[in-house]
């Protein structure tokens, strides 16, 4: 052996104990965790680790010599995962389909994001495929659309991508331009409401240059911390503490009194679900009235009408009782909460990053009478 070449240290291995920590830490940023789906994903990952052994955790600095990497994510409604249970083969089939299209074997798996089910399914995929899991992801936070990634910002296309379904279907999309979400959404509805997607194929050096690093390690650290300290790795900033006094779900259309026309919200079709507002009365300090505007997630926070936080930073509602994330869809008047902001990864604070992350914000600002955002 050449003495001038130091042997690389062995990779850390993720086993059942690490799965427990990852499962806890992965819920920190997950505002819409469906409990039954989360349990299915956790059992799924545990079964794959038991059957195939621990998974190497590959740090970004070791990606230089790695070939083809592929990003794995759950697409569709997480609740459907509990209704139509996985066979376990969905990720393997999706990854194999991408390999056929690209013409090369996949050498590493990376998560689209490391929140709730996505972190667990990425680990299950790596175990089933016998591949390392990259310590990083494509978002650094949670965003609802396949194209809303730092990979997109780096010029990497999600396609060719493949969907693996619980009925054994494999659907491959080879070229879709910017229409990936428009194509994938109806396909997922047709196959039972969920699928595993393998997307964003790229070589290790390209992945190292654009992913949000160390997000798996961060989730593991959060999972090992006490309940009150789990947000510490993200260094959240508190906006307010108070009580939810109102929750409003917007209709799918609005009536324009001036023209008499009925129309949809601008940009609303680009995002699943419908706009929702949560009103919070501050219990201390200036006693302001906060209004959180959400479309899948909280995209905008206003205090007495002034914008105080907006995407791409992640705005979370936390239960004052136990510090857990309160899903917008489950927000109930009378609940004591804290509102915190977690700064997004640097790529999201570029001009293109803000535009990509803020899909839907113009529509929400229109509901509030316009103004700067």
CA angle at 221 for the pair 215 and 223, rounded to the nearest 5°: 105
Residue 334, helix vs strand vs coil:
coil
Instruction: Name the token pair of 219.
Output: 């989730």
pLDDT, the chain, mean: 87
Question: How much is the average pLDDT of 86-99?
Answer: 96
- pLDDT tens profile 233-253: 888 999 999 999 999 986 654
Residues constituting the chain: 373
Predicted pLDDT at 344: 94
Q: With contact defined as beta carbons under 8 Å apart, do 63 and 205 qualify?
A: yes
Rounded to whole angstroms, the Cα distance separating 276 from 363 reads: 12
Q: What are the boundaries of each domain within the chain? A: 13-224, 235-367
Percent of the chain with pLDDT strictly greater than 90: 68
Q: Does the pLDDT of residue 47 top 50, yes or no? A: yes
CB-based contacts of 168, cutoff 8 Å, min separation 6: 87, 89, 93
- pLDDT tens profile 97-141: 999 999 999 999 999 999 889 999 999 999 999 999 999 999 998
pTM of the entire predicted model? 0.86
Q: With contact defined as beta carbons under 8 Å apart, do 87 and 131 qualify?
A: no
Instruction: Name the token pair of 83.
Output: 């209704």
Q: Does the pLDDT of residue 3 top 50, yes or no? A: no
pLDDT band at 11 (very low <50, low <70, confident <90, very high): very high
- pLDDT tens profile 139-159: 998 888 899 999 999 999 999
Rounded to whole angstroms, the Cα distance separating 8 from 362 reads: 49
Burial class (CB in 10 A: 0-12, 13-18, 19+), 254: middle
Q: With contact defined as beta carbons under 8 Å apart, do 236 and 340 qualify?
A: yes
CATH of domain 235-367: 2.40.390
Domain at 13-224, CATH homologous superfamily: CV3147-like domain (3.40.1610.10)
Predicted pLDDT at 367: 54
Predicted pLDDT at 198: 98
Rounded to whole angstroms, the Cα distance separating 75 from 188 reads: 7
- pLDDT tens profile 157-169: 999 999 999 999 9
Closest CA to 119 of 204, 216, 222, 202: 216
- pLDDT tens profile 316-340: 999 998 888 888 888 999 999 999 9
pLDDT band at 8 (very low <50, low <70, confident <90, very high): confident
């Amino acid at each position: 052996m050449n003495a001038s070449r130091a042997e690389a240290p062995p990779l850390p291995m993720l086993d059942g104990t690490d799965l427990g920590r990852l499962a806890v830490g992965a819920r920190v940023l997950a505002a819409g965790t469906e409990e039954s789906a989360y349990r299915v994903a956790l059992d799924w990952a545990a079964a794959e680790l038991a059957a195939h052994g621990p998974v190497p955790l590959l740090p970004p600095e070791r990606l230089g010599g790695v070939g083809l990497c592929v990003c794995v994510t759950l697409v569709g409604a997480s609740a459907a995962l509990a209704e139509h249970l996985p066979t376990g083969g969905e990720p393997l089939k999706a990854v194999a389909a991408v390999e056929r299209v690209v013409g090369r074997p996949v050498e590493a798996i990376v998560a689209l994001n490391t929140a709730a089910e996505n972190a667990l399914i990425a680990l299950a995929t790596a175990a089933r495929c016998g591949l390392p899991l990259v310590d990083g992801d494509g978002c650094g936070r949670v965003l609802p659309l396949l194209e809303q990634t730092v990979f997109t910002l780096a010029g990497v296309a999600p396609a060719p991508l493949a969907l693996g379904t619980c009925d054994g279907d494999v659907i491959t999309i080879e070229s879709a331009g910017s229409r990936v979400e428009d194509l994938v959404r109806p396909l997922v509805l047709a196959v039972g409401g969920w699928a595993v997607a393998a997307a964003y194929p790229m070589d290790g050096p390209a992945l190292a240059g654009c992913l949000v690093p160390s997000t798996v390690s961060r989730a593991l650290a959060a999972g090992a911390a006490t309940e009150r300290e789990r947000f510490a790795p993200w260094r959240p900033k508190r906006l307010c503490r108070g009580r939810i006094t109102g929750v409003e779900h917007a209709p799918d259309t609005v009536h324009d009194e001036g023209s008499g026309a009925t129309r949809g919200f601008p940009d609303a079709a680009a995002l699943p679900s419908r706009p929702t507002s949560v009103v919070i009365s501050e219990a201390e300090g200036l006693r302001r009235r906060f209004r959180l505007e959400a479309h899948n997630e909280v995209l905008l926070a206003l205090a007495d009408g002034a914008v105080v936080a907006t995407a791409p930073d992640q705005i979370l509602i936390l239960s004052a009782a136990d510090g857990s994330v309160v899903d917008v869809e489950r927000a109930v008047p009378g609940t004591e909460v804290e509102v915190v902001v977690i700064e997004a990864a640097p790529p999201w604070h570029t001009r293109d990053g803000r535009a990509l992350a803020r899909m839907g914000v113009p529509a929400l600002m229109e509901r509030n009478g316009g103004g700067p955002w």
